[in-house]
Amino acid sequence: MKILEKFINYVKFDTQSEENSTTQPSTLKQKDLGNFLVNELKSMGITNAFMDNDGYVYANIPSNVGSPKSIGLIAHMDTATEVTGANVKPMIIDNYNGQDIILPNNLILSPNQYETLNKAINHTLVTTDGTTLLGGDDKAGIAIIMETIEQILTNNYPHPNIYIAFTPDEEIGEGATYFNYDYFKVDFAYTIDGAEIDTIAYENFNAASATVEITGYNIHPGDAKNKMINSSLLAMEFNNYLPSSATPANTELYEGFYHLNEISGDVSNTKMHYLIRNHDAIEFENQKQLMKSIEEFMNKKYPSKPIKVTITDSYQNMASLVLTKPESLELPKKAMKMENIEAHSTPIRGGTDGARLTYEGIICPNLGTGSYNHHGVLEYADITEMEQMVKVIIKMFEISVK
Ligand SMILES: [Zn+2]
């Protein structure tokens, strides 16, 4: 079975995850794809493949050259919560001609707007019919891993010990939560998830959230002189002390920000919620400190001490840990070069499951998949790039056992 067929099979499973669910995985339908993948692995001869109670699929392929090295490949089975992943009707385009792609519902996928299409000429692409997402995030990753394993077994290419894992619930931030670290005994691993295939991503944000609760004092506005404390006005004052340029809309690459993503309130009580993000650990600490300093300053200025700031750390930048295992970055770089792909490294302006896995002991940079425009109906997968990525991983394995 070719990678295209595999991919089409996987996207037909509705595996959308769900926030605020009480089940594990968050939607039990994710296990349908899990079972399908276990059976497919078994049909390739990997009898140890299994899915655990939490909905994680695992398998191990021992080295065929007696290598002590052990490398992991990880992809996630769920799809984003924003757009439905049910009844996906994949459209296959052979030999893409570089023109606008008009989807069955008349939405237009144009290379003028989506530049990645310009490097897809003569490639095989898969799009949606314009009514659902495609699920290339991350079924492209699953297809790449499955095709890699099949080709390695069929052709007996030299490889290290390989562990694979397909995880549920990545899109709701829980992909690493029930990961079986005792089972997955690797020197390092890769999440195969994301866009450009020339990108090796290992730098993500340090992240925290801050809740700012402000207590005011309400009284009839006609009698308010020297008495009223308007918590909404204090909220505006608080925000004014933050650097106005440090917002998501004003920053890029390695620049950090404060993101006011929620505010509600009246005269008596106002609550603000911020995301704090920075790649640099020291600047990140300074950002948190600034919020605490504003709290202190305003509580001195207003005797009722109206401000309460609570900061909670979310995740950390994996870069410093990944750099302790430089081989994890050099391997894909070398393999890409052999496949005429010039490797790039761009900072991730978010978090990844890989970052959480890294902090739990599995060094885990991310490699791309050749699937694009995630989380929307204009999603598409570049099958030709996915095939290239299979070659890259096979090469990585070969180099690793030399
Ligand atoms: Zn993903």
Domain span including residue 82: 3-203+317-400
170 is catalytic: yes
For ligand 1, the distance from its centroid to the CA atom of residue 197, given in whole angstroms, is 14
> Residue 249: CB partners within 8 Å, gap ≥ 6?
none
Instruction: Please report the pLDDT score of residue 388 as a whole number.
Output: 98
Catalytic residue, chosen from 14, 78, 137, 150, is 78
Instruction: Please report the pLDDT score of residue 353 as a whole number.
Output: 87
Neighbours of 1 (CB within 10 A): 12
Residue 236 belongs to domain with CATH number: 3.30.70.360
For ligand 1, the distance from its centroid to the CA atom of residue 46, given in whole angstroms, is 25
Residues 97 and 177 in one domain: yes
Residues 230 and 372 in one domain: no
Interatomic CA distance for residues 381 and 196, integer angstroms: 11
Interatomic CA distance for residues 144 and 387, integer angstroms: 7
Could you write out the three-class secondary structure of 335-402? HHHHCCCCCECCCCCCCCHHHHHHHCCCCCCEECCCEECCCCCCCEEEHHHHHHHHHHHHHHHHHHCC
All residue ranges of the chain with pLDDT < 50 are none
Catalytic residue, chosen from 14, 40, 137, 170, is 170
Query: What long-range pairs does 236-241 form, CB within 8 A, spacing at least 24?
Result: 237/298, 238/212, 238/214, 238/272, 238/294, 238/298, 238/307, 239/272, 241/290, 241/294, 241/297
Last residue within a domain, chosen from 315, 345, 378: 315
Q: Is 287 left (phi over 0), alpha (psi -120 to 50) or beta?
A: alpha
Number of domains in the chain: 2
Instruction: Please report the pLDDT score of residue 205 as a whole number.
Output: 95
Residues, beta carbon < 5 Å, ion ligand 1: 137-138, 193
Residues 323 and 366 in one domain: yes
Residues 190 and 213 in one domain: no
Residues 289 and 367 in one domain: no
Last residue within a domain, chosen from 268, 286, 315: 315
For ligand 1, the distance from its centroid to the CA atom of residue 193, given in whole angstroms, is 5
The CA angle 207-57-349, to the nearest 5 degrees, is 20
Burial per residue of 337-354, b for 16 or more beta-carbon CB atoms within 10 angstroms, e otherwise? eeeebebeeebbbebbbb
Residues 24 and 77 in one domain: yes
Residue 58 belongs to domain with CATH number: 3.40.630.10
Residues 109 and 185 in one domain: yes
For ligand 1, the distance from its centroid to the CA atom of residue 195, given in whole angstroms, is 9
For ligand 1, the distance from its centroid to the CA atom of residue 227, given in whole angstroms, is 52
Residues 194 and 333 in one domain: yes
Last residue within a domain, chosen from 264, 298, 315: 315
> Residue 290: CB partners within 8 Å, gap ≥ 6?
241, 242
Residues 73 and 170 in one domain: yes
78 is catalytic: yes
Instruction: Please report the pLDDT score of residue 1 as a whole number.
Output: 67
pTM tops 0.85: yes
For ligand 1, the distance from its centroid to the CA atom of residue 223, given in whole angstroms, is 56
For ligand 1, the distance from its centroid to the CA atom of residue 44, given in whole angstroms, is 25
Instruction: Please report the pLDDT score of residue 338 as a whole number.
Output: 97
> Length of the chain, please?
402
For ligand 1, the distance from its centroid to the CA atom of residue 74, given in whole angstroms, is 11
Residues 289 and 234 in one domain: yes
Residues 149 and 249 in one domain: no
Residues 132 and 236 in one domain: no
